Amino acid sequence: MITTGCYLTPLFTDAHILDLPMEDTLSDCNDGHFQDDRSLWKAPFIQCSILSRRGISVDDSSNTSGIENGGDNGDGSSVDAQKVFENFLERHKCEIMSISQEEVTPEVLLEGLGCSLEFTKFVAMHDTLMYSQMIEVILTCNLPSSSARFIDLCAGSSVPTIRALLRNPAYKDLTVVSVDVDADAITISRRNVALAGLQSRFIIMQSDMLAYLDNVSIGENEILVSNPPYMPIPATAKSDFFLPVDGGADGTKYLEQILTKDMPAGSIVGIRWCSLTNPVRLVKLIEDRFDVVDVRAHRAPFGTYAKMTQEYLQKQREAGKSVFYQDAAGNKNFVFMSTVLRRKEG
Ligand SMILES: C[S@@+](CC[C@H](N)C(=O)[O-])C[C@H]1O[C@@H](n2cnc3c(N)ncnc32)[C@H](O)[C@@H]1O
């Protein structure tokens, strides 16, 4: 059971990867609960005004409809996707935060950056913000070297990396490789990088990320981050409209390629995904090859894309390939994840 009532959870499961010794990381804890000490973590958190301090218990029956999520694991064995997902959160000491999506506006994202940036047609600002915050966590806590190369797959407008760099100017020697398949995203990325005065630090490439991954070799000191399309989308719904979110039949099409990519032991990978993204498959892919360094999660109601595909999502859930929740009034919600990983030996 994941307990409620604690705002910041002990997010870093491997203290030695941080600059801080374990005693320091725990020095502000009361009864094992972290206080809201942002300077301690040197990592950004969503403004309190838009984030409920209430951690929601993931097995609180009032949050679910008692849905049976059992299904076939592909090898004939029965699985319970909801349990697999919630156990993952529990193992990695992650509480689910709630977020008011309406309050995550472009202004909130760009606050304090000193420049105005453009966004692409992908308008899930809360997802973009959480992604940028995950990049900051990697920058400020896990970076092996200030001259590391960041590969940002499915970079969209590049706002998440630009924001992270502008907020952390100490990482001035970083190079970011921004890859996106969409020509509009590339144009907007180029404009944004110029507006931020970061041209010398960005290489912007229009490419299918699968083709790019096939051809790139990940070296020491290189970091892979991605907020790829990760929604399960039925083949019948293929269209430009779904391009930013279409993660294939079970949402894992791009994430699987990232998680199975050859890379040196110790490499850092940061990915976004959600409880709709076949958690049974994804948790296995993650834990087979990676140590989990940091997990953050927030709950959000079904938005445009999920509402448009809810019949398909319902079938996915019945097949044990997707997890979502429903309140007493029938409103559906699911959980978005930021996960920082470190490649295991072997
Ligand atoms: C979920 S959005 C994320 C955008 C940005 N990283 C953010 O957080 O705001 C996914 C992005 O993936 C891009 N994309 C979709 N399919 C792609 C592919 N096959 N290769 C590269 N990029 C792709 C879309 O154009 C979109 O910009």
Residue 144 confidence (pLDDT): 64
The protein residue with its alpha carbon nearest to ligand 1, atom 7, reads: 128
Cα 237 from chain centroid?
24
CB 11 less than 6 A from any atom of ligand 1: no
Which of the residue ranges 70-84, 169-183, 216-230 would you say has the lowest mean pLDDT?
70-84
Q: What is the mean pLDDT of residues 223-236?
A: 96
Banded model confidence at residue 79, pLDDT cuts 50, 70, 90:
low
CB 71 less than 6 A from any atom of ligand 1: no
**Rounded Cα–Cα distance for residues 144 and 266 (Å):** 9
CB 122 less than 6 A from any atom of ligand 1: yes
- For ligand 1, what atom is nearest to the CA of residue 228? 10
C-alpha closest to that of 201 among 177, 220, 185: 177
Question: Higher model confidence: residue 194 or residue 239?
Answer: 194
**Rounded Cα–Cα distance for residues 142 and 156 (Å):** 24
> What digits encode the pLDDT tens for the residues 59-70?
333 333 333 444
Question: Higher model confidence: residue 221 or residue 12?
Answer: 221
Banded model confidence at residue 102, pLDDT cuts 50, 70, 90:
confident
Q: What is the mean pLDDT of residues 214-231?
A: 94
Residue 7 confidence (pLDDT): 25
Residue 295 confidence (pLDDT): 96
What is the number of alpha carbons within 13 Å of residue 171 lying toward its C-beta?
Answer: 27
The protein residue with its alpha carbon nearest to ligand 1, atom 12, reads: 154
C-alpha closest to that of 86 among 58, 60, 66: 58
The reported pTM is: 0.82
Overall size of the chain counted in residues: 346
Which of the residue ranges 100-114, 133-147, 292-306 would you say has the lowest mean pLDDT?
133-147
- The proportion of the chain whose per-residue pLDDT surpasses 90, expressed as a percent, equals 65
Burial per residue of 59-77, b for 16 or more beta-carbon CB atoms within 10 angstroms, e otherwise: eeeebbeeeebebebeeee
Mean pLDDT of the chain: 80
Q: Cα–Cα distances in Å, from 71 out to 19, 65, 82, 90? A: 43, 17, 10, 21
Banded model confidence at residue 203, pLDDT cuts 50, 70, 90:
very high
Banded model confidence at residue 146, pLDDT cuts 50, 70, 90:
low
CB 160 less than 6 A from any atom of ligand 1: yes
**Token digits for 137?**
């966590």
**Token digits for 86?**
């919630």
The yes/no answer on whether domain 15-343 falls in CATH 2.40.160.20 is: no
The protein residue with its alpha carbon nearest to ligand 1, atom 14, reads: 154
**Rounded Cα–Cα distance for residues 220 and 145 (Å):** 10
Banded model confidence at residue 27, pLDDT cuts 50, 70, 90:
very low
**Rounded Cα–Cα distance for residues 199 and 178 (Å):** 12
Q: Where are the domains of the chain?
A: 15-343
CB 209 less than 6 A from any atom of ligand 1: yes
Helix axes 125-137, 159-167, angle to 10 degrees: 40
**Rounded Cα–Cα distance for residues 86 and 315 (Å):** 20
Q: Residue 74 above 90 pLDDT?
A: no
Q: What is the mean pLDDT of residues 29-49?
A: 30
180, β-bridge pairs: 206
